[in-house]
């Protein structure tokens, strides 16, 4: 049972445009959501997170939106840069637990 | 520098030959976890540890063992590796929500690519 789903395995965006990566979840007990970025031959690195009491969190070019009623979150990257080309994982955590449940990832390619 | 280290980074071995992948963190984190990454399956948790001498199974624990004798170290042991354990392995650590830290983003090591022939 895949509790966190990233239905788009890949996304290709032109430099300077917006990248939108999507993530759906099924467990209403999740209260904390995170996005990680992964380059080849490196471990995932934390990018941005959002608590379930918020619907938006912004950090520079990166904004995460949470729609609790739809059990959906998205990561917006504006403007996209070639260095953003990586695999992006969304993850979720349940109340008072440390376990992160990851989606399957979306490979973003930003071309000039 | 705050970091999670893993060794070795690459390993090719044969079926049945016991191996250990080491993991160490210098951030005094209570929580540590091992994941494997396989194409199309994302990151799946193998084992985790809430603190010293406290370990538990994750989602795919078969064929693996762990120990947590010191807070900073969390080795992954494959006592009799098989080809289906060929994968990319990551160790991670974080502060613990059960200790009162809400924002428990995990810090990952660089990964260990294991091939079992």
B45·A99 Cβ contact <8 A: yes
CA A26/CA A21 separation, integer angstroms: 17
Mean pLDDT of the A86-92 span: 97
CB contact under 8 A, B110 and A102: no
Q: What is the pLDDT of residue A98?
A: 86
Q: Is the pLDDT of residue B63 over 80?
A: yes
- In this prediction, residue B40 carries a pLDDT of 87
Across the range A66-85, mean pLDDT stands at: 97
List pLDDT tens digits, range B22-46: 999 999 999 999 999 999 899 999 9
Residue B90 in this model has a pLDDT that exceeds 90: yes
Would you say residue A1 has pLDDT above 90?
A: no
Which residues are registered as beta bridge partners of A62? A59, A77
Nearest chain A residue to B102 by CA distance is A96
Weakest-pLDDT range from A2-11, A87-96, B47-56, B96-105: B96-105
Whole-angstrom Cα distance, residue B90 to residue B83? 18
Chain A interface mutation, best of B42, B45, B50, B58, highest count of A Cβ atoms under 10 Å: B42
Count chain A–chain B contacts defined by CB atoms under 8 A.
61
Query: How near does any CA of chain B get to the CA of A47, in Å?
Result: 9
Q: What angle do CA A55, A3, A73 make, to 5 degrees?
A: 20
pLDDT level of residue A97 (50, 70, 90 thresholds): confident
Q: Which residues 42-71 of B have a C-beta within 8 angstroms of A? A: 42-45, 48, 50, 58
> Which pLDDT does position B81 carry in this prediction?
97
Pairing relationship of beta strands B10-13 and B112-116 according to DSSP bridges: parallel
User: Structure tokens of A62?
Assistant: 């990166």
**SS3 at position B54:** strand
Mean pLDDT value across residues B7-13: 97
Per-residue confidence (pLDDT) for residue A70, from 0 to 100: 97
The pLDDT of residue B97 is: 77
In this predicted structure, the answer to whether residue A77 has a pLDDT above a threshold of 90 is yes
Measure CB to CB from residue B98 to each of A44, A46, A96 and give the nearest one: A96
Instruction: Identify all chain B residues contacting A89, using CB atoms and an 8 Å cutoff.
Output: 42-43
pLDDT of residue B104: 77
**Separation in Å, CA of B99 to nearest CA in chain A:** 9
Residue A91's alpha-carbon distances to A35, A97, B9, B39, B115, in angstroms, are: 6, 13, 25, 17, 27
Would you call the peptide bond into B70 cis, given omega within 30 degrees of 0 as the criterion? Answer: no
The set of residues, in sequence order, having a beta carbon less than 8 Å from that of B115 and lying 6+ positions away, is B11, B12, B13, B86
Q: What is the pLDDT of residue A26?
A: 96
| Span B61-74, average pLDDT | 97
Look up tokens 């098989």; give the residue.
B82
Which stretches of chain B are assigned E, i.e. beta strand? 4-7, 10-13, 19-25, 31-38, 42-51, 54-57, 65-66, 76-78, 87-94, 107-108, 112-116
Residue A66 has what pLDDT?
98
| Residue to test with chain A: of B104, B109, B113, most A Cβ within 10 A | B104
pLDDT digits (tens, 9 = 90+) for A16-29: 999 999 999 999 99
């Amino acid at each position: 049972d895949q509790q966190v789903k990233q239905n788009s395995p890949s996304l290709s965006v032109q430099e300077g445009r917006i990248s939108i990566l999507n993530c759906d979840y099924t467990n209403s007990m999740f209260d904390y959501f995170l996005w990680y970025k992964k380059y080849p031959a490196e471990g995932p690195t934390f990018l941005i997170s959002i608590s379930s009491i918020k619907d938006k969190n912004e950090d520079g070019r990166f904004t995460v939106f949470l729609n609790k009623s739809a059990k959906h979150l998205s990561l917006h990257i504006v403007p996209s840069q070639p260095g953003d080309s990586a695999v992006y994982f969304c993850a979720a955590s349940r109340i008072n637990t440390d376990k992160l449940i990851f989606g399957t990832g979306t490979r973003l390619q930003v071309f000039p | 520098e705050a970091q999670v280290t893993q060794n070795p980074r690459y390993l090719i071995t044969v079926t049945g030959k016991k191996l250990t992948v080491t993991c160490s963190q210098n951030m005094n984190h209570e929580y540590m976890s091992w994941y494997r990454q396989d194409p199309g399956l994302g990151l799946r948790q193998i084992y985790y540890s809430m603190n010293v001498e406290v370990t538990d199974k994750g989602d795919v624990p078969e064929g693996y063992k762990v120990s947590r004798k010191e807070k900073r170290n969390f080795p992954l042991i494959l006592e009799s590796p098989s080809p289906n354990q060929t994968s990319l392995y990551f160790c991670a650590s974080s502060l613990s929500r059960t200790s009162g830290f809400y924002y428990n983003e995990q810090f990952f090591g660089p990964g260990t690519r294991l091939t079992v022939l």
